[in-house]
Structures are given as C-alpha cells and as structure tokens.
Amino acid sequence: MDQAALVEYIAREVMAQLNPVPGGSVPEEGPRPGAQIVPVAVSVRHIHLAQPEINVLFGPGYALHKQRDLYQPGEFAAEEVVTLVGPRLRSLSNVRVLGPVRKRTQVEISRTDAITLGLKVPVRPSGQLQESATLTLVGPRGSITLPECCIVANRHIHISTVQARAWGVRDDQRVSVRVQSERPAVLGDVQIRVADTFKLVMHIDTDDANAVGLTCGSTVEITNGE
Ligand SMILES: [Zn+2]
C-alpha cells in the first residue's frame, strides 16, 4: 500500500467512525416515536380510613398526621399505622394509613399478604367492596372487625383528561402494557382511570412488580391490544 492509499484508507476509517452509515451500528435503546410510555409506582399494602374507624382505632375525633405527600395531588402517607388480623389470628403489622380520610375504609393488600393472613381476597378496582374480604383492624386505642373492607387492588393507570384524549383512551377502559425488564411480560386487564388532576402513573402491587421485575421509576408501554 503506497502512502496515498494508506492516507485514503485511514481517512475512510475515520469518516466511518464519525458518520456511521444507517444500519451499520447498534441502534440506541429507547421507545419508538409515539409510544405511550407510563411510569410505574409499586403500591405496598396500605389502608384508607373513614372517620368512624379512625375514632375506634385512634380515639374519638382523631386527625391523621401527614408524613409525606404522595405523587397524586392531595394524597399523603400518614404517620399512623394499623395491624391487620385475619382468621386464625395471623396478622400483618405496621400497615401504612394513606390520607386523606375517605367515605369508606378500604384495605389494599397483595395476594401474598392474603395468603399470610389466611384470607380469600378478590382482585377489584378501588371502591368496589361488595363481597370483598372481612378483616380485623387494630390500632393503638381499639380494634374493629370490618366486613367487606379488603381487596387486592387491580392494575390501573392514572391519567389526566388531556393526556387520555391525546392517547385515545377513556375512563374505565382496559388495556395491556408491555414490560421490558429482566423478566419481560405483557400485563393485561389494566384499568384506565381518568381525572383532570391525575398525574400519569401505573399502580401495581408488590406481587406484580416482583413477578415481572418492575420497581418504582420503571416504565411500561401501553400496547392497547396490539
Ligand atoms: Zn392508584
């Protein structure tokens, strides 16, 4: 190879490295344009309380103390915790109370928690408590056995009205999401929940998260039945 050929060869190699030809390099990982990407938050077992149950568990007229704000505007984790007791006296302690106070008390646990408690608990959207499980709640000032208070929360996505319109999804629609993780999966029957104030997030419980390798801050992609 003479000197001119060598220079040309080197120049070509350098140019190839500076301007890789399309298809000649590994494409960057990332969502395709227009992909409907949703951040994930993992819901650990928790309880929403109504005032009558707060009165029994923590004392008459008791008010919850905010520990920290949650992602959705107005929602917070309280300093207060309760103990859940199932049949045969199996229990889960330090279950976080989430505020604000609700009209009806609702306990949300995972399937694994239900097995620990020895309970049969249905998978339900929030608020659908008919024929849900009965639990005994224990607080520092008292306890109460509450029929139809306990569910395994369904997979759901909170989305604002504006974003829902842009993505062509509607309230209560069911979609599927694709999980890219070390345990890839498609999760079905994910409920869309639309409100003006909702910030975009998918809520799943600890069983779902651990099964498919998702953690808080992971993302999924809505596939909408593709
Ligand atoms: Zn939620």
Question: How many domains in the chain?
Answer: 2
For ligand 1, the distance from its centroid to the CA atom of residue 45, given in whole angstroms, is: 12
29: in domain:
no
Shared domain check, 106 and 74: yes
* Per-residue model confidence as pLDDT tens digits over 156-182: 999 999 999 999 999 999 999 999 999
CATH number assigned to the domain comprising residue 165:
2.40.40.20
8: in domain:
no
Among 153, 180, 198, give the residue marking a domain's end.
153
At 107, phi and psi to the nearest 5? -105, 130
Whether residue 176 contacts residue 206, with contact meaning beta carbons closer than 8 Å, is answered with: no
Shared domain check, 162 and 136: no
Q: What is the mean pLDDT of the chain?
A: 91
Q: CA 137, 141, 147 angle in degrees (round to 5)?
A: 25
pLDDT at 30: 67
Shared domain check, 70 and 120: yes
pLDDT at 27: 46
Query: Coil, helix or strand for 110?
Result: coil
Alpha-carbon distance 108 to 90, whole Å? 17
For ligand 1, the distance from its centroid to the CA atom of residue 16, given in whole angstroms, is: 50
For ligand 1, the distance from its centroid to the CA atom of residue 126, given in whole angstroms, is: 8
Q: How would you classify the pairing of strands 143-153 and 106-108?
A: parallel
**H or E stretch at 52:** helix 51-58
* Per-residue model confidence as pLDDT tens digits over 93-138: 999 999 999 999 999 999 999 999 999 999 999 999 999 999 999 9
Shared domain check, 139 and 83: yes
For ligand 1, the distance from its centroid to the CA atom of residue 72, given in whole angstroms, is: 9
pLDDT at 33: 79
